[in-house]
Structure 1
Amino acid sequence: MFSYEIIQSLNSLELSLYEYIMTNSKKVIYMRIRELADEAHVSTTTILRFCKKLNCEGFSEFKVKFKMYIEENNTKKVSDDISETINFLKNIEESDLDKRLNKLCDLVRSANTIVFIGIGSSGILCKYAARYFSAIGKFSFHIDDPFFPKNFKAYGESLVIALSVSGETPTTIENVMRFKEEGYSVASITNSENCTIAKISDLNVPYYVQPVKVNYSDITTQLPVLYMIERIGKKLYNQYIIE
């Protein structure tokens, strides 16, 4: 229902509406359009435009389809369908996401030091990214400890790359703000550009895949993030060879 192409077509108000709907899914299916407009702080016109982009004639049809979508995704069995990931990879070239990746590559190339920040599964990817970038000749390190000391300063051109699925992890936000105060440039890779970390970043690269949570744990696929890390690393390595 919420493909990458559809989400990418949403404007900032529609993205805000999307985030509210996904956070309050069980509540939304029983709301009137005016109630949703008031709760999500958008107009009814925005809601109807949002519904149209999801191929729904109106809000009533959207609620029916959304209820079916929720029921399908609330089954105990987690889908192992890889079509979403394949679709992501097939459509990345020449897309807005591709352009943002190129900009991130330029930022990495011009920085003397790269700092990857994240916790949980994102923290594991930070460790991998720092090792990967260091292997191609770009000095990098990672911070996956929420209580890592923050009393150090940047020297030279430095770039922080924050990894977070939700973009709302409090400790990651705190670390990003601390680095911004010290003059670091900040880029982020998140599952949505309508989140706090994306908004406080100089550059955000969103990937938009279906969030998956089981027993209060987030097991959303990290393959898009892994792809981005390796693609940037390889582009940098090729640039170094040419030089």
Structure 2
Amino acid sequence: MFTYEHILSFNELETILYQYIASNREKVIHMRARDLADATHVSPSTISRFCRKVDCEGFAELKAKLKIDLEMDKKKNIKSSHYTFAEFAEKAFEGRFEADIQEISRLAASSKSVIFAGSGSSGILAQYGSHYFSGLGKFSTYMSDPFFPVYDDLRETTTIALSISGEHKHTVDLTGKLKKEGSRIVSITNNKDCALAKMSEINIAYYITEERHHYTNITTQLPVLYLIESIARNMHALLHSR
């Protein structure tokens, strides 16, 4: 129930409130506003302002929304790894991604270097991708900082942007900077109806059921790992066929 925009808007005291509430949801739903104020050492007026910032009329509505969130979490069952692998493997074995894999491989092979962009768990895979591509003969690097200065001619690079939602602000902003300097943009996302896909020459959307646990996106990254390695291996074959 706390969005990225909400969290960015919090001041110091509101951040203390947010951190306490996020870590103690089951406890907070049984508290009075005064109890929460005492536990977090803030004033009741700070709690009222916090509630309005997160689109609640008051503390009672905030508790009601927290209770709904808790009940939804209890109903959610995390799928087995066999299910998540099978969901993607069926698409891969059908060859659904093959044409895009080949096209991105050709683009990467013809570039001087490859840049991987991503944040969070996608940032970890961006780092892995850059290492994997470099190991197969194409110098690659990864970037996750949207504030990193980008002032260079990147027309001979290909950027592979990674994001489950395709809407992560840091990744979208960084990709926009790289695109502005001339880098060719491709992306791997969970669906095509997203900002990154619209910024890309080529987008591979793997369409896996998204899963969340509390506030964390735990959607499997197996498809991304498969696609990175497939593109890299195809690129390597192209480089050695010349």
- What's the CA shift string for 1:164-222, capped at 9, x where partnerless? 00000111111111111111110000000010110111110100000011111111000
Deviation at 1:90, TM superposition (A): 3.3
In the alignment, which residue of structure 1 is the partner of 2:15?
none
- Which whole-Å CA distance do the structure 2 matches of 1:204 and 1:95 have between them? 16
Q: Which amino acid aligns with 1:101?
A: I
What is the TM-score normalised by the length of structure 1? Answer: 0.65
In structure 2, the CA distance between the partners of 1:88 and 1:155, relative to structure 1 (3 Å rule), is: closer
In the alignment, which residue of structure 2 is the partner of 1:176?
175
- What's the CA shift string for 1:140-179, capped at 9, x where partnerless? 00002233222x2125511111000000011111111111
Give 1:96-107 correspondences, 5 Å limit. 96-107=96-107
In the alignment, which residue of structure 2 is the partner of 1:147?
147
In the alignment, which residue of structure 1 is the partner of 2:111?
111
- What's the CA shift string for 1:109-139, capped at 9, x where partnerless? 1111111000000000000000000001101
- What's the CA shift string for 1:36-87, capped at 9, x where partnerless? xxxxxxxxxxxxxxxxxxxxxxxxxxxxxxxxxxx99962431215234224
Does 2:227 correspond to 1:228? yes
Any idea what SS the aligned residue of 1:104 has? helix
Count of residue pairs brought into register by the alignment: 172
For the aligned residues, what is the CA RMSD? Answer: 2.1
In the alignment, which residue of structure 2 is the partner of 1:130?
130
In the alignment, which residue of structure 2 is the partner of 1:200?
199
In structure 2, the CA distance between the partners of 1:219 and 1:118, relative to structure 1 (3 Å rule), is: same
Which has the higher Rg, Structure 1 or Structure 2? 2
Any idea what SS the aligned residue of 1:78 has? coil
The answer to whether the 8 Å contact 1:112/1:156 transfers is no
Does 2:75 correspond to 1:75? yes
Deviates more, 1:85-94 or 1:128-137: 85-94
Q: Which amino acid aligns with 1:240?
A: L
In structure 2, the CA distance between the partners of 1:238 and 1:153, relative to structure 1 (3 Å rule), is: same
In the alignment, which residue of structure 2 is the partner of 1:92?
92
- Identity of aligned pairs, percent? 37
Does 2:166 correspond to 1:167? yes
In structure 2, the CA distance between the partners of 1:170 and 1:87, relative to structure 1 (3 Å rule), is: closer
**Structure 2 runs not aligned, ≥5 long:** 1-70
Deviates more, 1:167-176 or 1:229-238: 229-238
Give 1:52-63 correspondences, 5 Å limit. none
- Which whole-Å CA distance do the structure 2 matches of 1:72 and 1:84 have between them? 21
What is the TM-score normalised by the length of structure 2? Answer: 0.66
- Which whole-Å CA distance do the structure 1 matches of 2:106 and 2:227 have between them? 14
The answer to whether the 8 Å contact 1:119/1:146 transfers is no
Any idea what SS the aligned residue of 1:198 has? helix
The answer to whether the 8 Å contact 2:106/2:238 transfers is no
- Which whole-Å CA distance do the structure 2 matches of 1:147 and 1:97 have between them? 33
Deviation at 1:238, TM superposition (A): 2.5
The answer to whether the 8 Å contact 2:112/2:139 transfers is yes
Does 2:183 correspond to 1:190? no
